[in-house]
Structure 1
Amino acid sequence: MTTTPFRIGQIVPSSNTTMETEIPTMLRAREGIRPERFTFHSSRMRMHKVTREELEAMNQQGLRCAAELADARVDVMSTACLVAIMAMGPGYHRQVERELQDVVRANGCDARVMTSAGALIEGLQIMGAKRISLLAPYMRPLTDLVVEYIEHEGIEVVDARCFEIADNLEVGRRDPLQLMEDVRKLNTSGVDAVVLSACVQMPSFPAIQRVEDRLGTPVVSTAVCTARRMLDHLGLAPVVPNAGALLSGRYPLSTATGKAAAAY
Structure 2
Amino acid sequence: MTIDPTTAAACENSPAPQAPGSSRVGLIVPSSNTTMETELPELFRRQSEATGHRYTFHSARAAMKQVNREELLAMVGKAAECATAVSDADVDVIAYACLVAVMAQGPGAHKESEQVIGEAARDNGHPADVVSSAGALVRTLQTIGAHRVAIVTPYMAPLTQMVREYIEGEGIEVLDAVALEVPDNLAVGRLDPENLPDIARGLEREGAEAIVLSACVQMPSLAAVQRVEDELGLPVVTAATATTFEVLRALGHRPAISGAGRLLTGELS
TM-score range, shorter chain: over 0.9
Give the secondary structure class of the aligned counterpart of 1:54.
helix
Give the secondary structure class of the aligned counterpart of 1:138.
coil
| Corresponding residue for residue 68 of structure 1 | 85
| Corresponding residue for residue 94 of structure 2 | 77
Q: Which stretch shifts more, 195-204 or 26-35?
A: 26-35
Candidates 223, 240, 246, aligned match of 1:229: 246
* Superposed displacement of residue 126, structure 1: 1.1
* Superposed displacement of residue 251, structure 1: 2.8
In structure 2, distance between residues paired with 1:143 and 1:77: 26
Q: Which stretch shifts more, 60-69 or 3-12?
A: 3-12
| Corresponding residue for residue 244 of structure 1 | 261
| Corresponding residue for residue 24 of structure 2 | 7
Give the secondary structure class of the aligned counterpart of 1:78.
strand
Quick check: 1:49 aligned with 2:66? yes
Gaps of 5+ in 1: 253-264
* Superposed displacement of residue 202, structure 1: 0.2
State whether residues 114 and 131 of structure 2, in contact with CA within 8 Å, keep that contact through their aligned partners in structure 1: yes
| Corresponding residue for residue 255 of structure 1 | none
Quick check: 1:209 aligned with 2:226? yes
* Superposition CA RMSD, Å: 0.9
| Corresponding residue for residue 113 of structure 2 | 96
* Superposed displacement of residue 182, structure 1: 1.1
Read off the aligned partner of 1:38 and give its amino acid letter.
Y
Gaps of 5+ in 2: 1-18
Candidates 173, 177, 181, aligned match of 2:194: 177
* Superposed displacement of residue 139, structure 1: 0.4
Q: Which stretch shifts more, 181-190 or 15-24?
A: 181-190
State whether residues 47 and 255 of structure 2, in contact with CA within 8 Å, keep that contact through their aligned partners in structure 1: no
Give the secondary structure class of the aligned counterpart of 1:238.
coil
* Superposed displacement of residue 134, structure 1: 0.3
Give the secondary structure class of the aligned counterpart of 1:186.
coil
| Corresponding residue for residue 143 of structure 1 | 160
Q: Structure 1 segments of 4 or more deviating over 2 A?
A: none
CA displacement 1:181-235 (0-9 Å, x = unmatched): 1112111122000000000000000100000000011001010000000000000
In structure 2, distance between residues paired with 1:136 and 1:142: 9
In structure 1, distance between residues paired with 2:194 and 2:210: 19
* Superposed displacement of residue 31, structure 1: 1.1
Quick check: 1:200 aligned with 2:229? no
Read off the aligned partner of 2:166 and give its amino acid letter.
Y
**What's the TM-score once normalised by structure 2's chain length?**
0.92
* Superposed displacement of residue 239, structure 1: 2.2
* Superposed displacement of residue 105, structure 1: 0.6
Quick check: 1:158 aligned with 2:175? yes
* Superposed displacement of residue 3, structure 1: 2.6
**What's the TM-score once normalised by structure 1's chain length?**
0.93
Q: Which stretch shifts more, 53-62 or 194-203?
A: 53-62
Q: Which stretch shifts more, 241-250 or 111-120?
A: 241-250
| Corresponding residue for residue 256 of structure 1 | none
In structure 1, distance between residues paired with 2:261 and 2:29: 24
| Corresponding residue for residue 257 of structure 1 | none
CA displacement 1:89-114 (0-9 Å, x = unmatched): 00000011111111111111121011
Give the secondary structure class of the aligned counterpart of 1:50.
coil
